[in-house]
Every structure is written in C-alpha cells, then in structure tokens.
A and B are shown apart, each in its own frame.
Chain A
C-alpha cells in the first residue's frame, strides 16, 4: 500500500477519533455521522469475517466437495432469520432450541465442577490436615477470613429466610466483603479506562507528526472553528430579537 494511503489513513483515524471525542463538548453532526459509521463498520467487519472464515470454509467448500450434512446446521442457522417475519417466525424456534439445548447441556456439569465444587474445595483447602500440619498460621488465618467472608456473602444473597438476628449480622458482614471486592474492582476499572484513553491519545500524538502533515492539529483546529462559528450562528437570532 502506498505511502499516500497510509498518510490518508492517519488523517481518517485522527478525524474519526476527534469527532467521537467532540461529543464531550456537546452533541454535533460530526459525532453523529461517526457514531453511525461505527455501527455500520462494526457490523461490516463481523460480516466479512464470518463470510470468509466460516461460511466459505465450513459451508460452501464442504458442499462443493459433496458433504451434504452441513446443510442441516445451515438450515437451522438460517431459520433464526425468520424471527423478523411474524407469520413464519415459529421456524426460528428450531434454530434457537438447538442452540439452547446444546448450551444448557454443556453448562450444567461444567458449572457444577468449575464454579461450585472447585470453589468449595478452594475454601476448605487451607483447613485440610496436610495444610494444618505445616503449621502455617498466616495461611490458616487468611483461609478462615475467606471462609467466613464467603459464607457471610452467601447469607446476604440468601432470601429464603428473613434477614434478622444471626442471619442479619452475617449478611451485614457479607456486605463489607462485597464492598471490599467492589472497591478493589472500582480501582481497577479506573485504571482500565485510563489505559484505553491513553491508547487513543497515543495514536493522536502519532498522527500529529510532520509525517502525517499535522493531521491531529489541523482537524482539531477545524473542529474548534466549527464550534465557535456554530456558537455565534445560534446566538444571532437572539441578538436580532433584542434589536427588534
């Protein structure tokens, strides 16, 4: 690809980024255009990926080779689209029930193993004889805190009995453990979002270089001019009214 196309790409990327950020100042047509482009481009990307990496090798090529069995899942898959036509929407049930039955059948044993048994095992592991015999007091204390906290959180989510007396106390302790979890998660969330923003600014900085003919600077300046002009343009009728 020619250098010109890469420079043009820099202008497009900088422009789209700045237009999306412009919403932070106020809603404007540039943002709206870019927002809609995003919806279409995202769907277009998924479409071409599925077309060339699933439909072609998994449906088209086997059919050409005479493997007609792929027609069964293809028809089931296509049946999903009938959802949009009320008179025949019941056909989509065949596709949906096939997906739901398979998913449900897989999820049950694995959830029991991964999120139930293994987690209960992890909670009681520090109290096993082999662990206790190591006389690691720190591990025992931490294990006890995890066990108490875990049980209290379960009490908090347990609505089959009224929360009063011991149950209320346990569930209150559970809330504190949840708050510690949410607090830690919040701290990390802040960090995550800043990383994304940093990534975009880093790109904008790249496109502000002379190699890209100062794309970021030029587009930013043009947008500022637009907002200034727009501001005065919208104020004009008021001034005219006052004069009248």
Chain B
C-alpha cells in the first residue's frame, strides 16, 4: 500500500518535474510535444483545483449552520451569494450579454460582485491613513530614510505636490520628477534586485527539493 500511497505519487512528481526541466534545455520535436500535452493537461487539472476552496468554504459554513454556532444565520448568505451568481449563469449558459443587453449574470457581476469586491479592498485606504497618523514614528535614521523616500515619491507623483515643490523649492532648480525617477532607477533597483535574487535562490532550491522528494509537506501526513 505504501507503494500506491507514497512512492508512485513521488515518482510522478520526479518524472514530470525532470522531464519538464529537460524539455527546456533540450528543445526538439519530442520535448515540444511532451510539453504541449502537459500544458493541456495542467490546464484542465488546474480547472478543478478551485474546488478545494469551494468545498472548504461550504463545509465550514455548513458546519456553522448545522451546529447553530453564534451568528450561524450569516452563513446562510454565503450560499445565497453563491446561488445569486450560479443560477443566472445556468439560465444564460454563462453569457453576460444577450445582444446589447445584460443577462442576469452580467447584472450580478456589474452591480453585485463589482461593488462587493471593489469596496472590500478599498476599505484598507482608511486604515493606511489612520495607521500613518498613529504609528508612523521617525525614531531612527532608517525610519527617516524610509519616510523621506515615501515623501518625495508622494509629492512627485501628484500634481498638487509638484506645484508645491516648485513653489517652495523651485529656486534649487531640482525637479521633483527627476528625483523620483532617480529613486526608481537606482536605489529601488538595488534594493528590489537583492530581494529578488534571494527569492530566486530560495525558489530554485525548493523546486529541486520537491522534484527529488525531499520537500513533501504538500502531500499531507502519511
């Protein structure tokens, strides 16, 4: 049983990983055909991966309703929201437009999903401002550098800031746009490139560990 439960999956990972890796360095008709099949198959497999999220969400809220935990009534709205999108989609066969007019699905996207998703993420703006006031304290030289970079960038990017800079510091003949551009072209490149390279090395090592079966946490417990 260990063979089926553990070794065959690991062998699949090893084989697929190694052949995909080799197909990059050995570009010929066979490797191209192999990659084409893999691309098509992976495309389909990934189409089922979201079911993990769907089942997880449904199980969690179904259990809340079943056990009648505090606020279980709200969980019903998860299913309502789901049906509000899926039922019109089934009725219109996934079409959002019927000629020049919106179908129920298109209506749901434009007036519901758009508003819900957009607002959920925009709320962060309020917290950024409040946190900037309450927690952004320049207590060290490093924090000072961080603030100076943020300040120059904010001033340089919006017209009101540019107008203020020209009024107050115009005599220096130093344009804020040039400073922002230099900031982006030089120190930001250096800082970001360092992080990027660290991530790249980490990514390559992890990928190798996965192919060789050293890293197998994603497989769950034995």
B45, closest chain A residue (CB): A77
- A95-B45, A149-B190, A181-B188 as given contacts; A41 in contact with B112, CB under 8 Å: yes
Known: A5-B107, A116-B197, A184-B153. A20 touches B191 (CB 8 A): no
A222 interfacial by beta-carbon distance below 8 Å = no
Let me know if B9 and A94 touch, CB within 8 A: yes
A37 vs chain B, min Cβ distance (A): 4
A142 cross-chain contacts in B, Cβ below 8 A: 182, 185-186
Question: With A44-B84, A48-B105, A179-B142 given, can you name 10 additional A-B contacts, CB distance below 8 Å?
Answer: A1-B107, A17-B119, A36-B77, A45-B108, A90-B220, A104-B208, A105-B23, A153-B195, A179-B191, A187-B154
A183 to B192, CA, bound (A): 12
**Cβ contact of B193, chosen from A23, A73, A153, cutoff 8 A:** A153
Measured between beta carbons, the chain A residues less than 8 angstroms from B40 are 73
Is B163 positioned at the interface, with any CB of A under 8 Å from its CB? no
Interface contact A187-B190, CB-CB below 8 Å: no
CA distance A178 to B188 in the complex (A): 8
Indicate which residue in B19, B24, B150, B203 contacts A187 across the interface (CB closer than 8 Å). Answer: B150
Q: Lowest 10 A-B CB distances belong to which pairs?
A: A40-B81, A153-B194, A183-B149, A105-B20, A149-B190, A52-B94, A77-B48, A44-B85, A181-B191, A187-B153
Given A100-B13, A108-B207, A196:B47 Cβ within 8 A: no
From B219, which residue of chain A is reached at the shortest CB distance?
A: A93
- Report if A47-B197 is in contact (Cβ < 8 Å); known contacts: A176-B142, A180-B188, A193-B125: no
- For A56, the closest partner residue in chain B by CB is B94
Segment at the B interface, from A79-87, A127-135, A224-232, A233-241 = A79-87
Minimum CB distance partner of B201 in chain A: A116
B68 at the interface (CB under 8 A from A): no
* Cβ-based interface call for B123 (8 A): yes
Contact with B along A18-57 (1 / 0, CB 8 A): 0011011000010011111111111111111111111110
CB of B111 within 8 A of CB of A93, answer no
Residues of B within 8 A of A (CB): 4-6, 8-10, 12-21, 23-25, 38, 40-57, 59, 61, 71, 74-86, 89-90, 93-94, 101-103, 105-126, 128, 132, 142-143, 145-154, 157-158, 182-201, 203-204, 206-208, 210-211, 218-220
In contact, A40 and B78 (Cβ under 8 angstroms) = yes
Most A CB contacts (10 A, CB to CB) among B23, B111, B126, B191 go to B191
How many A-B contacts are there with CB distance less than 8 Å?
404
User: Do the beta carbons of A174 and B194 come within 8 Å of each other?
Assistant: yes
- Are B210 and A100 closer than 8 Å at their CB atoms? yes
- The answer to whether the Cβ of A220 comes within 8 Å of any Cβ in the partner chain is no
Least Cβ–Cβ distance between A133 and chain B, in angstroms: 22
Alpha-carbon gap, A72 to B48, bound state (A): 13
Interface centre among A36, A72, A83 (most CB of B within 10 A): A36
How near does chain B come to A99, taking the closest CB pair, in angstroms? Answer: 6
Whether A96 and B115, one on each chain, are in contact in the complex, defined by CB atoms closer than 8 angstroms, is no
Tell me the complex Cα distance, A127–B50, Å: 48
Q: Can you list 20 A-B contacts (CB < 8 A)?
A: A40-B57, A40-B79, A42-B113, A42-B116, A46-B50, A48-B105, A52-B93, A76-B41, A96-B9, A96-B219, A101-B17, A104-B210, A104-B211, A145-B186, A150-B190, A153-B195, A179-B149, A181-B187, A184-B187, A191-B154
In the bound complex, what is the Cα–Cα distance between A1 and B45 (angstroms)? Answer: 36
Contact indicator per residue, chain A 132-158, by CB within 8 Å of chain B (1) or not (0): 000000000010011111101110110
In this complex, what residue of A is CB-closest to B55?
A: A84
Decide: B115 and A111 in contact? CB cutoff 8 A. no
Q: How far is the CB of B195 from chain A (nearest CB, A)?
A: 7
A200 touches B119 (CB 8 A): yes
Contact A1 B102 (CB under 8 A): yes
Question: Which of the residues B24, B103, B122, B182 comes within 8 Å of A200, measured between beta carbons?
Answer: B122
- Cβ distance B117 to chain A, nearest Cβ, rounded Å: 7
Partner of A98, one of B45, B75, B198, B204: B45
